[in-house]
Structure 1
Amino acid sequence: MSDAATSPGQNRTPRPPARPPADRPRDAFFDNAKYLAIALVAMGHSWEPLKGDSRVLEALYSVVYAFHMPAFIIISGYFSRSFDMRPDRLKRLVTGVVVPYVLFETAYSLFERSVGGSPGQDISLLDPWYLTWFLCALFVWRLTTPIWKAVRHPLPVAFAVAMLASVAPSIGDDLDLQRVLQFLPYFVLGLCLRPEHFRLVRRWPVRIAALPVFAGALVFSWWSVPRMNTGWFYHRDSAQELGAPWWCGPVMVLALFGCSLLLTACFLSWVPGRRMWFTALGAGTLYGYLLHGFVVKLAVYEGWFDPGWLHRPLGEILVTALAGAVVTLLCTGPVRRVFRFAMEPRMDWAFRRDAVEQARERGRERERQAQERREPANA
């Protein structure tokens, strides 16, 4: 009778608090893509002091700039799909984006003062210098991710924002908002993508088609070098600031997105899907991105690009190889360990403990103690 009177769920063993999901193994394809994209970023920066003397290098520079940052931003958006306002994710956003931005924006400003010969260079967290704009953009994009996930048609809305920004010179330079807004569609596209979309571009027909597409892009770029302002690729100015009619802004946003998306698909089609010697470097691409800027700027300030032989084909090849080697070194484990305090700081002291996580830890501790009590009894 007493058993019958007991409510159905009263004698059930209580479930332990939910455990956080185990870390998934890293996908070699995306690590390979991130490393190759960041290597192209470094090579493109090393070409800037040289490209004025070579129309071929200028054409290659334009093709690379048409897709290397879009590819990196699309992948960043893809891996931001799960972002929400959960405390642990906000903490990672602060420690992985905000803190590196503050530290590197300060470091770049001090570097410009001491090495670049600009004693009046101010330390301003509102005016990103050189490479730090991407951290500003990533912070804004990721923080707005829940909005894009809630909107019915996020990509058209992102295009509308980008096109409006392209005709608004009054936006100014604060936080490099022109770049933040004009590159926004690439991030939102990454949020909308699924694994099957990446499998689609890695099929052999796409890989074969990528060869004539890249060849045609190089030929067109060589033709357009004296006819087109490469400032369009940077997305940091409005149409009026580039000396074009206002209506060119929205047109170029759409045209460049189409070109960038096509070249990014071709680039991703040839990214290896298996583990390669550089796969592990994909986890350190932010290190390579932020640190290689000091090397490039130092080379410019010290006149390392000045020798005439570097402006000939063999010299340009050597500079390209050195840029690839330097950014590769900066993505390695030893460099990451040295600079982890700035890129991935442990700042538990700055945040409140999450109540949910505390409950999970207490549940795990109780389960461990119960297991220890059961073991002697079983023995």
Structure 2
Amino acid sequence: METSKPRDYFFDNLKFILIVLVVVGHVLEPLCSVSRTANTMYNFIYFFHIPLFVFVTGHFSKKLDKLGHLVALYVVFETLYAIFDFYVNRRTEFNITFFTPYWVNWYLLAVVLWKIILPYFTRLRFPVLIAVVIAVLAGYTSSELGYFLSIMRAVNFFPFFLAGYYMNRESLNVLFRRSVTIVSAITAAVTYTVLYAYGQELKCEWLWGSYSYEAIGHPEWYAGVYRIAVFLVTVILSAAVLSLTPAGKTRVSELGTRTMYPFLLHGFLLKYAIAQGLYKYIDTSLELWLLVAAAVAATILLSMKWIAAGFVWLFRPNLSFLVKKRDPASGHVQT
């Protein structure tokens, strides 16, 4: 008699932690130029939260499914954000393009690209190393590429997607040893302290993965070394975060199964708050931390089961009318 494989709550916990950091990072971004604390937290978060999300996505991409669903989701939210931006920011012209993703939508398009090229990379020897080399070399390309089709970001974060794809779950168990966890906590604390003391000049463009070296202001021939350095810090911090993530079931485990909802919906709340001038009221450290707390609360709210139930029609549209049906008897496509 077959028994179902027990759920691995580690990834649920990790995804919840990461989606909280996504929302917190976006909330902090407008304050980075005026607050040392906000700038430090933002850079610290951005060193690992996107790469780790990509890593998890790659790990659960053993099958090339859901491409149609991702494309549909991209088209729906690209349209919704364009309409929202037009009205909330009182644009004089309505602008929508499916070739330059609006803000968070880049991730949906990038996942589609990763899954399309994945079968070709799996045929290669040393696929992760090759992906890293391509990512480093991509920084020398035209500065005009930018956000077009999420190509630059897709290339820069693809090594983490591949790492997740090839990762054996059991290999992570070494990270849960008490000694490793202690070292991880120290590593995270030291990194944050160094960023607070010396990281104010760090350009966040290095962490976004969206721009060429020239666009960031480093046309030097050796600029690729900086990309490699960023990768190394990212790998170290990512390992630390994995080590510090609870492996068993927690109170947030269930919320971690619905990260797509806060990911795509929180932008409407934040962009509306920005349009209403929220940030002109954020002047003190207390107000900054209250804003962070509000971001965490919003993430929890948007991860609730009733939110998923209420928006299921939007996140899982019925596209069966676009697909030709097969005759169950003959197996032929019906016209």
Residue 291 and residue 248 in structure 1: after superposition, are their counterparts in 2 closer, same or farther (change >3 A)?
farther
Secondary structure at 1:164 match in 2: helix
Counterpart check, 1:83 vs 2:63: yes
Counterpart check, 1:118 vs 2:91: yes
Aligned partner of 1:36 in structure 2 is 17
Deviates more, 1:240-249 or 1:135-144: 240-249
Give distance in 2, aligned partners of 1:122 and 1:276.
43
Counterpart check, 1:93 vs 2:67: yes
Structure 1 residue 248: deviation in Å? 4.6
Aligned partner of 2:53 in structure 1 is 72
Give distance in 1, aligned partners of 2:59 and 2:189.
28
Aligned partner of 1:130 in structure 2 is 103
- Find 1:328's aligned residue among 279, 300, 312: 300
What is the aligned residue count?
A: 328
Counterpart check, 1:350 vs 2:322: yes
Aligned partner of 1:210 in structure 2 is 184
Gaps of 5+ in 2: none
Counterpart check, 1:105 vs 2:78: yes
Give distance in 2, aligned partners of 1:40 and 1:202.
21
Aligned partner of 1:288 in structure 2 is 262
Structure 1 residue 353: deviation in Å? 5.1
1:230-260 per-position Cα deviation (integer Å, ceiling 9, x unaligned): 2111111000001112435421221111111
- Find 2:115's aligned residue among 142, 145, 149: 142
Deviates more, 1:156-165 or 1:34-43: 156-165
TM-score by length of 2: 0.92
Structure 1 residue 78: deviation in Å? 0.8
Structure 1 residue 22: deviation in Å? 9.0
Aligned partner of 2:214 in structure 1 is 240
Give distance in 2, aligned partners of 1:339 and 1:270.
32
Gaps of 5+ in 1: 1-20, 362-379
Structure 1 residue 337: deviation in Å? 1.3
CA contact (8 A) 2:185 2:244 kept: no
- Find 1:305's aligned residue among 275, 279, 282: 279
**Corresponding letter in the other structure for 1:342:** L
Structure 1 residue 25: deviation in Å? 4.8
Residue 353 and residue 27 in structure 1: after superposition, are their counterparts in 2 closer, same or farther (change >3 A)?
farther
Give distance in 2, aligned partners of 1:104 and 1:24.
34
CA contact (8 A) 2:54 2:161 kept: yes
Secondary structure at 1:144 match in 2: helix
**Corresponding letter in the other structure for 1:312:** T
Give distance in 2, aligned partners of 1:135 and 1:252.
27
